[in-house]
Structure 1
């Protein structure tokens, strides 16, 4: 079984190649390509492999440009650190979409899926297959957020975040250990990134962690005032229309969209 790797980080490519051959010695890595230009040249000079492992962000652009320019029939497993390309990936012959860092277990699952699809299909996966894959992928919530702190990039575990606070269109993070960071994103985007069983959008300004809720007080006009285990810049309020939904969430009764 011939495999092609498109990855511009040499260490990542080497680790991926080693894991592939450890999982199944019958897999043979034909080449490791580092750019769009090099990939286009390689495909013009070689037969298509049985399977492609491809990063998305390459030094000279997105790998999608390779697959748009060539008439490829081989399946692709994308390996990337970014989840915002999931929908674009389904415009190609996608078998799986793996988020870095990739474990051997995840890789083995993807390869097993490829083998099963190879047995079942004599043509490319159908739209319903892609739809099913997307439904599974959309349930993957982030476990870590990367925040900029001066010249440093700091990984912050999502479960350690007490709340996100929107202040003048800037999102601030406060952790359970009282550390504070800024995040370049919107509250709407954050809601799609974090597990709704753990985080609740209390109001326009606050997205709060269940584990940071100390207690709840009934307020004027049947609103709810949430007391947090860490200090918040203002009282976290839940409106009357959302009060029942919030209390259900606090009990662990969560309706996932």
Structure 2
């Protein structure tokens, strides 16, 4: 197996290469590259590897630029100190997202996932099978949101959030424990990172948790008024054009 390592810190690159060799003795590190420019040039003049281990923040920008300019056919395992790029990573051929510090256990788990996908790919057969399997791992919905409260960073379980509410340009989070926080994410960002089976964008201002819907009342003009288990700042309204879709989601038949 030919493995390409993209990492701009020399010590981290050596450590990662050592871990890869220890976990997968048959792995051949074909190159260790440190920048976007260097990597694009290498990929344009060499056969593609079987696997890429890629940092995200490189000296000359984010590594996603590489994958926008060069068509990559092999799986990618991202290694980074930041979780903010999770969704962007899975817009590529990512099969795993490892948070630094990288250790043997994390790399072993990533190789296990790769092996599982490869076996399933053989069973499925053909490019379409691999594309379908890769699409299945592109669902890294957040389980925890980090919110700032003064000098503290507080982890909030997504399943415990009753609703997200947009007031002007600020998004407020309300939990089942009646705790309220403000977050910097936009509602559009939240829709992409939160499981759509659990949360529904009722309207521009509300993103609500399925398990906290107390009842739904039919309103005039075929709109729906949704009541949650916790009082909301204003009535959660669902338009008539979304009413059927919302009810299907509520009973679990939308996805």
Q: What is the TM-score of this pair, normalised by structure 2?
A: 0.69
Q: Provide closer, same or farther for how the CA distance between residues 31 and 152 of structure 1 changes in structure 2, counting only shifts above 3 A.
A: farther
Q: How many residues align?
A: 241
Contact 2:4 2:31 in 1 (8 A): yes
Residue in 1 aligned with 2:103?
Answer: none
Q: Provide closer, same or farther for how the CA distance between residues 39 and 182 of structure 1 changes in structure 2, counting only shifts above 3 A.
A: same
Measured in 1, the distance between the counterparts of 2:150 and 2:220 equals 42
* Between 189-198 and 103-112, the greater mean CA deviation after superposition: 103-112
Deviations 1:130-150 (A, max 9, x none): 854663344332222333334
Of 72, 82, 88 in structure 2, the residue corresponding to residue 84 of structure 1 is 88
Measured in 2, the distance between the counterparts of 1:38 and 1:152 equals 40
Contact 2:142 2:158 in 1 (8 A): yes
Measured in 2, the distance between the counterparts of 1:50 and 1:131 equals 16
Of 102, 106, 113 in structure 2, the residue corresponding to residue 109 of structure 1 is 113
Contact 1:51 1:76 in 2 (8 A): yes
Measured in 1, the distance between the counterparts of 2:12 and 2:252 equals 42
Measured in 2, the distance between the counterparts of 1:233 and 1:167 equals 10
Residue in 1 aligned with 2:5?
Answer: 5
Deviations 1:1-25 (A, max 9, x none): 454433467679847853x456433
Q: Provide closer, same or farther for how the CA distance between residues 106 and 178 of structure 1 changes in structure 2, counting only shifts above 3 A.
A: farther
Alignment of 1:1-257 (within 5 A): 1=1, 3-7=3-7, 14=15, 18=19, 20-21=20-21, 23-27=23-27, 51-64=51-64, 75=74, 77-80=76-79, 81=83, 82=85, 83-87=87-91, 89=92, 94=93, 96-101=94-99, 104-111=108-115, 113=117, 131-132=131-132, 135-253=135-253, 255-256=254-255
- Unmatched tracts of structure 2, length 5 or more: 100-105
Cα offset, 1:241, TM superposition: 3.3
- Unmatched tracts of structure 1, length 5 or more: 119-124
Q: Provide closer, same or farther for how the CA distance between residues 77 and 99 of structure 1 changes in structure 2, counting only shifts above 3 A.
A: same
Measured in 1, the distance between the counterparts of 2:148 and 2:75 equals 33
The two structures, once aligned, show a CA RMSD in angstroms of 4.3
Cα offset, 1:161, TM superposition: 1.4
- Matched residue SS, 1:84: helix
Cα offset, 1:162, TM superposition: 1.0
Residue in 2 aligned with 1:122?
Answer: none
Cα offset, 1:212, TM superposition: 1.4
